[in-house]
């Protein structure tokens, strides 16, 4: 992103993104014959793709968080949380295999199972190594040493 745009935006990434998008769209509209240069179109395409990817990733994360945190949530609250109109949010809920009750306008998230991906769960790459068993005599000796330490 151009340094001048970042400086004008005061460092805010979202504001700088919006400002750069506005500049590119203005260049496109003011171009002779309504046809901008290829670099302007390339920047516009990159900005549109970035915006869509960020929105989709954020929305997927929001779905994951709701599925972990709620057993039910109002459709209006859920729609506001994921940034969609209520109808689209309910459609997305049904596509995820969740339940939606039109009479109560409630959404019931499906809890992620052990095989389903979750955005906030830690998944170790491998199982931890088993701790080797300690012989009884050695455990007793450690316990005796510990008690003796505490008494002194």
pLDDT digits (tens, 9 = 90+) for 50-76: 877 777 888 888 888 888 888 899 999
Mean of all residue pLDDT scores within the chain: 79
pLDDT at position 122, please?
A: 52
In this predicted model, what pLDDT tens digit does every residue of 22-55 receive, in sequence order?
Answer: 998 899 899 998 888 888 888 888 888 887 777 7
Q: Is residue 126 very low, low, confident or very high in pLDDT (cuts 50, 70, 90)? A: low
pTM for the complete prediction? 0.49
Q: Which long-range contacts (CB under 8 A, 24 or more apart) does 63-70 make?
A: 63/92, 63/96, 64/112, 64/117, 64/118, 64/119, 64/120, 65/119, 65/120, 66/109, 67/96, 67/98, 67/109, 67/110, 67/111, 67/112, 67/118, 68/111, 68/112, 68/118, 68/120, 70/109
Mean pLDDT of 99-104: 91
Token pair 């990159």 is found at 46
């Amino acid at each position: 992103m151009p340094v001048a745009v970042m400086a004008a935006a005061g460092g805010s990434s979202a504001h700088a993104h919006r400002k750069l998008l506005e500049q590119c769209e203005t260049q496109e509209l003011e171009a002779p014959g309504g046809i901008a240069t290829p670099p302007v179109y390339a920047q516009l395409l990159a900005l549109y793709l970035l915006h869509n990817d960020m929105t989709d990733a954020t929305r997927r994360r929001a779905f994951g968080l709701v599925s972990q945190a709620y057993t039910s949530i109002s459709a209006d609250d859920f729609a506001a949380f994921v940034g969609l109109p209520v109808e689209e949010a309910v459609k997305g809920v049904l596509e995820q295999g969740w339940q939606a009750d039109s009479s109560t306008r409630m959404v019931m998230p499906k809890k992620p199972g052990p095989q389903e991906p979750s955005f906030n769960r830690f998944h170790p790459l491998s199982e931890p190594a088993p701790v080797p068993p300690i012989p009884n005599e050695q455990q007793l000796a450690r316990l005796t040493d510990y008690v003796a330490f505490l008494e002194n």
